[in-house]
Amino acid sequence: MSSVKGFHFNTICEISAQADESLLEEALSLCPVFERLMSRFIEGSDVWNLNHAEGLPVQVSEHTLEVLKCADALSSASEGAFNIAIGAASKLWRFTDAEPVIPTSEQLEKAIFELRNFSIRFKDAGVIIPAGATIDLGGVAKGYACDRVADQLRERGVTNGILNFGGNVVTIGTHPEGRPWKVGLQTPNAKRNESTFAAVESVDSAVVTSGIYERCFTRNGTIYHHILDPRTGRPASTDIVSATVLSSDSMLADALATAILVLGSSLGLQLAKDYGVQTALLTTNNQLTYSAAMPLTLTE
């Protein structure tokens, strides 16, 4: 097995597979390509162009278009719990900075107004969003990239591999020993990769987890995390600590995991059911609820 690692989409992206390291490096080099299209921080990216278009149509790459269409569908299906216009709020909190900021109520009111009035239109002339809106694809772009990188590896003949882009896992074929890959679900607040509470079996599918213990900070005893409720612009406060989605489509799983965290367990489970995907939800009272068909085993 060879392994390669890089820092993209503000997280560690790792590929391990039975293949030459050079093949894995080549596949990993797609990450900065997608990042340059979908990061809101990179001047000239599709997302940057949309955020600065003042309501005019913008021609975007086929990749960005696919992600925007998935996000738009998810936004409707989740009744706005998933909303890429969340950029209006996330740019205030600045979770990716060394020193995140707690926005004022006034700032959040303005962000909520933008979120409520957001719409996206797909025209021949390009994609149109309202002037002043700020798109943030942080909840879905990694999932898309992970699928495309896995596709390239499959095309190059890789038959056994695993990709982990910051909790967004895609498996190719089986483990080299012929058994399914086992994707560990992280114990909240434990050091990354050091403790898991369960494992999900995966063959050629995606296992994606969103957690409120990722990218968070504590101020005056309150924990603030990066998954925001579009109705308030503040960290989503539901009964869920982490949501894991198993699906053949990693982009969909990524968006769904984020949406479920905002919706809470009862609406979240319904959304997963509507999409025919399996989920495992860890709740604030430390209960694990998972779909009957989820191939999950608890860690001893």
From the list Mg ion, ligand AMP, none, pick the one residue 224 interacts with, judged by a Cβ distance below 5 to 8 Å according to partner type.
none
- Is 141 near ligand AMP (CB under 6 A)? no
- Is 214 near Mg ion (CB under 5 A)? no
- For ligand AMP, the closer of residues 22 and 248 by Cβ is 248
Token pair of 69 as six digits: 């269409």
- Is 262 near ligand AMP (CB under 6 A)? yes
- For Mg ion, the closer of residues 201 and 254 by Cβ is 254
- For ligand AMP, the closer of residues 19 and 112 by Cβ is 112
From the list Mg ion, ligand AMP, none, pick the one residue 230 interacts with, judged by a Cβ distance below 5 to 8 Å according to partner type.
ligand AMP
**Euclidean distance between CA atoms 59 and 35, whole angstroms:** 17
- Is 90 near ligand AMP (CB under 6 A)? yes
From the list Mg ion, ligand AMP, none, pick the one residue 246 interacts with, judged by a Cβ distance below 5 to 8 Å according to partner type.
none
Bridging pattern class, strands 11-17 and 296-298: unpaired
- For Mg ion, the closer of residues 160 and 278 by Cβ is 278
- Is 240 near ligand AMP (CB under 6 A)? no
Among 60, 71, 95, 139, contact with Mg ion (rule: CB under 5 A): 139
Least gap, CB of 161 to ligand AMP (angstroms):
22
- Is 258 near Mg ion (CB under 5 A)? yes
Q: Is 106 exposed, middle or buried (0-12, 13-18, 19+ CB in 10 A)?
A: exposed
Least gap, CB of 140 to Mg ion (angstroms):
6
From the list ligand AMP, Mg ion, none, pick the one residue 226 interacts with, judged by a Cβ distance below 5 to 8 Å according to partner type.
ligand AMP
From the list ligand AMP, Mg ion, none, pick the one residue 46 interacts with, judged by a Cβ distance below 5 to 8 Å according to partner type.
none
- Is 254 near Mg ion (CB under 5 A)? yes
- Is 253 near ligand AMP (CB under 6 A)? no
